[in-house]
Amino acid sequence: MAAAALALSGCAVLGNVAQLDDDYYRVIHRPAADTLAALASRRQLYVQQRADTLLLTPDAPTGRPLTYRYRLQPNNRLWLLRRRLDLDVFTIPFKVRPPQGGVPVQLNTNFNAAIYVGRRLDFYSLRTKRTTPFGNTPHIRATGLGYGAFIGAGSTFITDDVTFTTRPTAADYEGVVLHGGLAAIYDARAFNIGLAAGIDQLLGPDGPHWVYQHKPWFGVLFGLDLN
């Protein structure tokens, strides 16, 4: 189970952002012959948005930092990257279990939940767009990916059909499982949705007899971004 506790996870977000957060970013793409050429050499920039103008302040190990003003253009996109810590809570509405021990493919719809912490990469495409008769306004489109580790708990129905031999417990019951795994997630702004792959460990005396003990499963995630 120790190997299952550490897992990678991916996140994604796609949509428009009204205001860029004041934070550290990197310029990962700029228009050709842009005045940001000297600043775009993979250095961190502290970025502040003021309407259609960005205030860019490079890290300055010594001396007073210099701030540059960059005005967004209607036909030229500027791409920024921000890295940050990500914390999510997931529910797993169903798991698909491949055939094991003579049992065909199973669809488990019992309660399952997980929590994960990881790193998030947010990509921002910035330009201006004419949306009013008074001129251009900032237009920011965000896309995000992430990676991290998750672990959680859930339940599964235990019967003689999903055990290898005569099990210690005679009654059918809802067993408690711990799980961890890999995930790729799309953030729909209001909620996260994604695909997951993981393994389970059944707690209790029937664990060693369970056909799915430490076997892979695949499922769907719904999540809530806590930060």
Write the CB contacts of 138 (distance below 8 Å, at least 6 apart in sequence): 49, 51, 52, 72, 126, 127, 128, 129
Given a contact cutoff of 8 angstroms between Cβ atoms, the answer to whether 22 and 46 are in contact is yes
* Inside any domain, residue 194: yes
Judge whether 216 lies within some domain. yes
Instruction: Say which amino acid occupies 150.
Output: F
pLDDT for position 88: 85
Instruction: Note the pLDDT tens digit of each residue in 88-147.
Output: 888 999 999 999 988 999 999 998 999 987 888 888 999 888 777 777 788 888 887 888
CA distance 145 to 122: 6
What is the total count of domains within the chain? 1
In a domain, 84, yes or no: yes
Residue 62 within any structural domain of the chain: no
- Measured distance CA(209)–CA(205) in Å, rounded: 8
Closest CA relative to residue 17, chosen from 189, 133, 220, 170: 189
d(CA 55, CA 62): 20
Q: What is the mean pLDDT of residues 174-180?
A: 95
Residue 63: strand pairing partners:
none
Pick from 7-11, 43-47, 143-147 the range whose average pLDDT is largest.
43-47
Mean per-residue pLDDT of the chain: 83
**Which of 56, 60, 26, 29 is closest to 44 using CA atoms?**
26
The per-residue pLDDT for 213 is: 95
Can you give the residue range of the structural domain that contains 143?
2-15+77-225
- Residue keyed to tokens 């949705």: 193
The reported pLDDT for the residue numbered 13 is 52
Share of the chain above pLDDT 90, in %: 34
Q: Does any domain span residue 148?
A: yes
Q: What are residue 130's phi and psi, to 5 degrees? A: -80, 105
Task: Examine residue 23 and state whether it is found in any structural domain, yes or no.
Answer: no
**Which residue's structure tokens are 């299952």?**
4
Q: Return the SS3 of 175.
A: strand
Q: Is the dihedral of CA 180, 108, 110, 190 positive or negative?
A: positive
In a domain, 140, yes or no: yes
Residue 214 neighbours by CB under 8 Å, 6+ apart: 1, 4, 199, 200, 201
Q: Does residue 94 lie in a domain region?
A: yes
